[in-house]
Structure 1
Amino acid sequence: MIDKTTKIHKVRVAQYLRMSTNLQEFSLDNQAQFIKKYADEHNMEILHTYDDAGKSGVSTSGRHDFNKLVNDVLTKEINIDAVLVYDVSRFGRFKDPQEGIYYKYLLKMNNVDVIYCAENLPENSETETFILSSLMYAAGAFSKNLSIKVFAGHVNLVKRGYYQGGTPGYGLKRRLLDNNNKPKMLLAHGERKSLQTDRIVLVPGTKKEIELIKKIFNMFIFDGLNEYLIASRLNQEGYRFSDKTEWTRGRIHSVLINSRYTGRYLYNRTSQKLKTKRIKNPEEDWVEYKSFFKPIISEEKFRLAKEIIDNRSIKMSDEKILDCLRKILSKHGKISGFIIDEENSSPSSSVIANRFGGLLNAYKLIDYTPERDYRYLEINSFLRKKHSDIVNKIKNEITSSEVKILENKLISVNKALSFSIVLSRCKKTGLNKHRWVVRLDRSLNPEISIIARMNSLNTEPVDYYILPSIEFLEHELKIKDNNTLLFEMYRFDDIKPFFNMLSTDDKDVI
């Protein structure tokens, strides 16, 4: 334990701040103010700040600043005597309290103490260890109990007929209700409710969509057509999917296995709690609501379709399925879930995944390595490093302003302007044609998003789109070689003008 009462030299400390949601009483600012008061009262000087906003404390995964703090101590990047945190729960709500003790011990072995400012732990080391273990257990138990309560709340809402997430499927819509169960509006794809008191129910779509769903089931059950032939016939007759594109074998299959058309809603078929691996739950743990709406497809008709699909895969031995994969590989030179689902003679990708415990396991059995996937991972790894380089370059370029980088994603300038940098990977879609997919992380809430469009080799940016936070920007943007005039208004060949604006001596510009 460090001597917190010394008056000769100020104790060198870092502070660690964490909160999992914006609704918590103790925001990062409130934590910082409390820690600052504690530091002043104990002759401490806060030299470094690490904070994880919007991060769960049940594990260290995703807690960039927590991991950076530990790494900086271990590698001697910082020279401190202690880390100040508001309380034990801010340090972490670990499922296993020993994990929290481990990180504290790791820091202590490097002569860095962890001080929980609001806990007022006794100085006696044995008593402190006992109480600290209890507090860490309580912090972890809180997350577990909260998870149980949240799940119980979801189950209660399902049993009352409210929808709890997931893609509804073709021909089904999500209707928003107020706290009095009065309809407000239909939610478009990607839209979410904004009020905690609002609820969502599933409702059938248009009459044309409902009739098409019935037509698909009839063609499959009574006409004996498989998914590929149904998709081909619908496309020939001019039918289109929800996004106005053509029907595919996979889309037809997703209609045939969607039990929601019977009016039933099954919840908790899979679960992933407290950062653990997603698992399939036994049927007895499923939660069912039986009357969302008048059934579009009867239970009997849905059962017949399911039997046809199940029998189709049951009749095929493992070796026969693998032979199908070999034929697909020979035909296309590669395999993916999409390619499998579009092959008429093959079981669906979901059936293969269930049979072999995942598509990659099936690929290994036919000695196929999906090179494209690995190249994609390599490119992504390079882009993450490139992103870090660009962010650091920006920080160095903005010379006359106070710049703070949060998790290497959100950049704050003078605490008045925030922006994010997104590197958009280039994909070749044809001869001399390219496409760039951009995923904007709206949880960051940047006032400006800068999209760096990478070259065809994904080694360097070729230009930049500097986009304000306005409503027409979607979570996912698709940029082409040639874009609309409105979108091109935000394109710049060089990012230096943006640097110059932020580096001006007149900070009122920001």
Structure 2
Amino acid sequence: MLLLENSAAQYVRMSTDMQTFSIENQSEAISLYAATRGLTIVCSYEDSGKSGLNIEGRPGLRKLIADVTSGHAEFKTILVYDVSRWGRFQDSDESAYYEFLCRESGVQVEYCAEQFSNDGSLSATVLKNIKRAMAGEFSRELSTKVFTGQSKIVTRGFYIGPDPGFGLRRCLVDPTGKKKTVLAFGEMKNIRSDRTILVPGPPAETNVIHRVYGLFIDKKLSISEIARKLNDEGIPNAYGRPWVTHSIRQLLSNEKYIGNSVFNRASKKFGKNWRRNPPSEWVRGLGVFEPVISIERFEQARLRLKENSTYRTDGDVLNSLTALWCCKGRLDIDLVLSSEKMPSPQSIKVRFGSLTQAYRLIGYRGRGDRDYKIKAREGMRKTIIEGVRKLNGTARRCSSGRHIIINEELRVGVGVGRRASGPNRHGDWNFGYRSQQKPDILVVARIDRGCREVRDYFIHPYALLPHGSWLTISGKNYARLDAFHTNTLEPFVKMCARRSLEASK
């Protein structure tokens, strides 16, 4: 019988996609440490692809702390690879506080790769606090180095950022600045020393940009009138979607269209909320790209935008959001984008941290969105269970009701993907999955917010998820995910079918 004193839990964390084998390496080192001390690992808590700057975005650590402080933990020791994996908190006292909560609940934290024993001695306490401070300082130094490097790249005339948007393309250049090829949507460079610059896109798009400036400056049309006119003519934006006021405003105000490279308009450091930086902190490369619009026309558009704009306090933005809610009966990113009276979702994110936080501040909980997602998941489960049973297979809900057990051997989870928010991400879909019991297969439905109908499905083996918990569907990985794509659930149901031996003869 395993004694509680000999039971341990392991906590592992990696912060980026580049640390491919970090979790595996940590687990191996922890297992060796446990074996040499007669401990048995009974459970594992994991934060894959999570920054160690704070606890907010780390469900694994939060669950660990909750289990320990509840008094129902089935272990007496927590094994962590080293102090930095516990966290790179900017305040070392925060790291100590979470360890104190565990110790107060009778659970000891052990750092397997450190050169000291966490036994509460003076030397261990001093070394541990130094390590905590060093872990936090590493993040600060790394942030400074990365920012300095990115700033130098921008001032040298290169481009940093996602796909450039309407009327522009990314062009790959070698270290000397010689052009190599134009990158398509979602393509990335594969040689580290190569850089990218912006070049004008096809004439069909640049002509639209010139026309937008003419309608705004010469014809005095409003931004919403221009968006409506382009949509009526069937002209899509850079992502193949209808124009909204925010995307038209980008054409009229972004300096990349006059050949400038601008970096650090907004920043998010050390796990804090997004912060809108004043122009004095922007990093600029002036006239480094071939312009699409002349500086004279750009300044004319900027002057008219300034004349038409009014300063909005946080209260004004929340009042506008409340008015939109009352008018439409619900809120989502598409409604915010399409409303001329609302600032862009990115502006709201900079002010309040996220759209969700802004919703909470006005009392909106998005019950309608959650209801239709719940209904969609239930519909998917029902279709799969009934379909498998019709084809002589067995299918049932597990005890928690979250998963489907097919043929008593395959565990299936279902979910609904959502459009990603943020600039230049209108073509992306995200799906997050959180569960202590991991399924074998994830069936993800993409549902359009407007009509709330299923667009298609992705049937994805859980083991192949990038971090085992989060999937992003975008132009960057359509080709890789195409093998898992289907328009209906029928292929998956047929795959799970069972045939009797008599029928096979």
- TM-score w.r.t. the length of structure 2 is 0.71
Partner in structure 1 of residue 392 of structure 2: none
Render the CA deviation track for 1:256-314: whole Å, top value 9, x for unaligned.
12221111121101100121010111221100011232322222221111111111234
351, 354, 368: which is aligned to 1:375? 368
- Say which is worse superposed, 228-237 or 279-288, in terms of deviation: 228-237
Structure 1's unaligned 5+ residue stretches are: 1-7, 451-468, 478-485, 502-510
Indicate whether 1:168 and 2:164 are aligned: yes
Q: Provide the rounded CA distance (Å) in 2 between the counterparts of 1:443 and 1:148.
A: 36
Q: Match of 1:349, SS?
A: coil
Render the CA deviation track for 1:51-84: whole Å, top value 9, x for unaligned.
2222211112232222222222223443222111
1:443 Cα deviation from its structure 2 partner: 11
Q: Match of 2:13, SS?
A: strand
Q: Match of 1:48, SS?
A: strand
Indicate whether 1:446 and 2:445 are aligned: no
Indicate whether 1:420 and 2:442 are aligned: yes
Q: Provide the rounded CA distance (Å) in 1 between the counterparts of 2:315 and 2:39.
A: 69
Q: Provide the rounded CA distance (Å) in 1 between the counterparts of 2:290 and 2:137.
A: 42
Partner in structure 1 of residue 434 of structure 2: 408
Query: CA 1:383 to 1:77, structure 2 compared with 1: closer, same or farther past 3 Å?
Result: farther
Indicate whether 1:142 and 2:138 are aligned: yes
The one-letter code of the counterpart of 2:51 is S
Partner in structure 1 of residue 453 of structure 2: 434
- Equivalence map 1:133-212=2 (5 Å): 133-178=129-174, 181-212=177-208
343, 358, 362: which is aligned to 1:349? 343
1:35 Cα deviation from its structure 2 partner: 2.0
78, 82, 88: which is aligned to 1:93? 88
1:115 Cα deviation from its structure 2 partner: 0.9
1:19 Cα deviation from its structure 2 partner: 1.7
Render the CA deviation track for 1:72-128: whole Å, top value 9, x for unaligned.
222344322211111111111111111111111111011111111221225562322
Given that 2:174 and 2:180 are in contact with CA atoms closer than 8 Å, whether structure 1 keeps it comes out as yes
Given that 2:216 and 2:222 are in contact with CA atoms closer than 8 Å, whether structure 1 keeps it comes out as yes
Q: Match of 1:471, SS?
A: helix
- Equivalence map 1:314-393=2 (5 Å): 314=310, 349-350=343-344, 373-376=366-369
Render the CA deviation track for 1:468-494: whole Å, top value 9, x for unaligned.
x9726479x9xxxxxxxx934763585
Query: CA 1:94 to 1:9, structure 2 compared with 1: closer, same or farther past 3 Å?
Result: closer
Given that 1:341 and 1:347 are in contact with CA atoms closer than 8 Å, whether structure 2 keeps it comes out as no
Query: CA 1:378 to 1:236, structure 2 compared with 1: closer, same or farther past 3 Å?
Result: closer
Query: CA 1:118 to 1:311, structure 2 compared with 1: closer, same or farther past 3 Å?
Result: same
Query: CA 1:377 to 1:163, structure 2 compared with 1: closer, same or farther past 3 Å?
Result: farther
Partner in structure 1 of residue 282 of structure 2: 286
Partner in structure 1 of residue 490 of structure 2: 491
Given that 1:14 and 1:82 are in contact with CA atoms closer than 8 Å, whether structure 2 keeps it comes out as yes
Given that 2:441 and 2:462 are in contact with CA atoms closer than 8 Å, whether structure 1 keeps it comes out as no
Query: CA 1:285 to 1:72, structure 2 compared with 1: closer, same or farther past 3 Å?
Result: same
Larger RCO (CA within 8 A; separation ≥ 6): 2
Tell me which structure has the larger Cα radius of gyration.
1
Partner in structure 2 of residue 58 of structure 1: 53
471, 487, 490: which is aligned to 2:479? 471
Query: CA 1:258 to 1:442, structure 2 compared with 1: closer, same or farther past 3 Å?
Result: farther
Render the CA deviation track for 1:317-360: whole Å, top value 9, x for unaligned.
999999999998898777878667767xx656359978x96799
Given that 1:263 and 1:296 are in contact with CA atoms closer than 8 Å, whether structure 2 keeps it comes out as yes
The one-letter code of the counterpart of 2:465 is P
77, 80, 92: which is aligned to 1:82? 77
Q: Match of 1:118, SS?
A: coil
1:215 Cα deviation from its structure 2 partner: 2.3
- Equivalence map 1:178-327=2 (5 Å): 178=174, 181-231=177-227, 233-234=229-230, 239-243=235-239, 247=243, 249-314=245-310
Q: Provide the rounded CA distance (Å) in 2 between the counterparts of 1:124 and 1:251.
A: 58
118, 121, 138: which is aligned to 1:125? 121
Given that 1:169 and 1:255 are in contact with CA atoms closer than 8 Å, whether structure 2 keeps it comes out as no
Partner in structure 1 of residue 16 of structure 2: 21
Render the CA deviation track for 1:122-181: whole Å, top value 9, x for unaligned.
556232222211111111111111111111111111112221114523101122345565
Q: Provide the rounded CA distance (Å) in 2 between the counterparts of 1:342 and 1:159.
A: 35
Q: Provide the rounded CA distance (Å) in 2 between the counterparts of 1:125 and 1:316.
A: 56
RMSD: 5.0
Q: Provide the rounded CA distance (Å) in 1 between the counterparts of 2:32 and 2:80.
A: 12
Partner in structure 2 of residue 455 of structure 1: none
1:224 Cα deviation from its structure 2 partner: 2.5
The one-letter code of the counterpart of 1:491 is E
Render the CA deviation track for 1:384-442: whole Å, top value 9, x for unaligned.
999997997548668669999x97369878xxxx643436557562xxx8344879999
Given that 2:174 and 2:195 are in contact with CA atoms closer than 8 Å, whether structure 1 keeps it comes out as yes
Given that 1:20 and 1:55 are in contact with CA atoms closer than 8 Å, whether structure 2 keeps it comes out as yes
Q: How many residues align?
A: 450
Given that 1:176 and 1:186 are in contact with CA atoms closer than 8 Å, whether structure 2 keeps it comes out as yes
